[in-house]
Structure 1
Amino acid sequence: MVLYTHHLPQWKRDEVEEIIRFSKEYKLTGLVDLHGIPASQLQQMRRNLRGLAVLKMTRNTLIEHAFSELGGEIGKTAGYIDGQSAMIYTNENPFKLYRKLQDTMTKMVAKPGDTAPEDVVISKGPTAFPPGPIVGTLQQAGIPAAIESGKVVIRETKTVVKAGEEINEKMADVLSKLDIRPIDVGLSLQIAFYDGTFFEPGTLAIDETEYFNNIILAAQQAFNLSVNAAYPTATTAGAIIGKAVREAKNLAVEAAIYEKDVVELIIGRAQRESLAVKSLVE
């Protein structure tokens, strides 16, 4: 029986021991936040993760007990527990896990008190509402609405809630009526411990297309540097030799050095120059 759990009821001890066992069996141990996820959606997310990761939901206090027992670097995972946390385990690398969790995110209607993850913008244009009290409701929420040609329209595009601001009850009601879903709901990775290193979401949130393009650009720049500096590698040796041959030929032509590989180029250049002089004389 583990030192930190001898005083716990049997079912709690079993939970702690399972967390410890999973943390030793899997390459990656992580924490995800379950806040605001409806039960039905959570079950679907678990099915989506099948074959990739194991999601274990339990009490935060039991997670803390487990990591206290584990100790070492992985024991510091407990310091990242925040809100309604759950454990996640996988043998995949943290970048793949993060991308998969991002794929589980869906947009939900806002509830009063929710924090806007990004600017909430209502666009100019017609709505699906017939003329009626909705115009006053929109105006009271600070949205420039009017009736035009028998339709309720938004007269100008407006940011109604800025990122990080709280969505009040009136605004939540209006956004729901307009079917604007500003809240990201899904398994939000809080921390991942993998191969002795902690990975935070900010590190894992990379733009793969931009990253790939940067690698291609770096490879091109390295190739050009190697060629221009005449620093031969297995990749650039051919290009360096080709460049040297072209420069040698150009030098031989400019200096009128009659070698068999350039004599025709010299004659051709002389002919072009003579024709140019002829055209000026005539």
Structure 2
Amino acid sequence: MAEVHSTHIPKWKKDEIEEIKESINSHPAVGIVNVHGIPARQLQQIRAELYGSAILKIARNTLIERALDESDEKVRVLKEFIEGQTALLFTELNPFKLQRLIEKNKSSAPAKPGDIAPCDIIIEKGPTPFKPGPIVGEFQNVGVPAAIEGGKVVIRERKVLVKAGDKIQQQVADILTKLEIYPMEVGLNLRAVYEEGMIFRPDILAVDESKYFSDFMTAVRNAFNLSINIAYPTSASIRVLLQKASVEARSLAINAMIFEPDVIDALLAKANLQMVSLTAKLSEKALESKSERASEEAGEVKEGEEIYKRA
């Protein structure tokens, strides 16, 4: 009779798999995060900061994979992102808000030997708080141009000490710590988020909020200007359009000398200005001649009126 072999799974593993499956099914968004290099104390702090917004679940990779295998087919894609020290995040937040929450909870940390520089680590030119001593040689040993000026150690020129992606050596890590330069970030690193059948990667979620807001405001201004220029009324532009139409109608009435109650004062003022301007251009002799002529005409009119009365 052939022997039958079966794999026995301890109860605690089954319970953990079921717990993960239940959390997957009860949350609209599930994230995969890297927890490598996070000290236990800071991990507890991160849990506390996420409380009420997301649940952090740390488990063995094999158990996470098993739980995903037994979950909806669409969410199984997250298996591709399981590597190294992995944890799950269960949340009601959308992926973009989750990414912002994770980034917000990151903190700076000193570099350790063997760490990979997340960006170019730069030593700026200028004075340091150190007095002359062995520190000058330590700077020079790692390629930092240091000298003594005025009883202080100074950096003579700006120096890229470690390029992004390079490994940080022991001596370099020591110098950075002495300079209180903490280039490393401690916190969760998001690898992917599943929501409603879609996978969101960090490069998609890393939105520059200030640029996004600036672009949005530019679009709003352009849309408003367009609606004004083509006279397309909207709730935002109707007041300006009415004001513009009123100004243009008034200007037309004044220029075309249309005698309307709303512009009669402006027309009289315009006529008065034209009269004053014309008067200023006439010579005194011409003005006297016109004045005499006006007096003669007035006398003739008066004489005519008297003759009419006698008749």
Q: Secondary structure at the match of 2:232?
A: coil
Q: Secondary structure at the match of 2:221?
A: helix
Query: Residues 171 and 254 (structure 1 numbering): CA distance in 2 closer, same or farther, change over 3 Å?
Result: same
Q: Between Structure 1 and Structure 2, how many residues are aligned? A: 277
Task: State how far apart, in whole Å, the 1-side matches of 2:282 and 2:184 are.
Answer: 80
Task: State how far apart, in whole Å, the 2-side matches of 1:80 and 1:267 are.
Answer: 82
Query: Residues 269 and 83 (structure 1 numbering): CA distance in 2 closer, same or farther, change over 3 Å?
Result: farther
Partner of 2:111: 110
Q: Secondary structure at the match of 1:130?
A: coil
Moved more, 225-234 or 26-35: 225-234
Moved more, 210-219 or 52-61: 210-219
Partner of 1:256: 257
What are the superposed Cα offsets for residues 77-104 of structure 1, whole Å, 9 maximum, x if unpaired?
Answer: 1112233110011112222222221121
Listed as ranges, the matches of 1:1-282 within 5 Å are 8-279=9-280
Task: State how far apart, in whole Å, the 1-side matches of 2:194 and 2:37 are.
Answer: 24
What are the superposed Cα offsets for residues 232-277 of structure 1, whole Å, 9 maximum, x if unpaired?
Answer: 2233233222222221222222222222222322333343444445
Task: State how far apart, in whole Å, the 2-side matches of 1:14 and 1:235 are.
Answer: 58
Moved more, 13-22 or 165-174: 165-174
> Identity over aligned residues, as a percent?
46
Query: Residues 87 and 278 (structure 1 numbering): CA distance in 2 closer, same or farther, change over 3 Å?
Result: farther
What are the superposed Cα offsets for residues 23-82 of structure 1, whole Å, 9 maximum, x if unpaired?
Answer: 111121111111111111111111111111110001122212221221422111111223
The one-letter amino acid paired with 1:148 is E
Q: Secondary structure at the match of 2:131?
A: coil
The one-letter amino acid paired with 2:192 is I
- Alpha-carbon distance, 1:225 to partner: 1.3
The one-letter amino acid paired with 2:155 is I
Query: Residues 239 and 133 (structure 1 numbering): CA distance in 2 closer, same or farther, change over 3 Å?
Result: same
Q: How high is the TM-score relative to the length of structure 1? A: 0.89
Q: Secondary structure at the match of 1:73?
A: helix
Q: How high is the TM-score relative to the length of structure 2? A: 0.81
The one-letter amino acid paired with 1:177 is K
Task: State how far apart, in whole Å, the 2-side matches of 1:177 and 1:145 are.
Answer: 14
CA RMSD in angstroms, aligned pairs only: 2.2
Unaligned runs of 5+ in 2: 1-6, 284-311
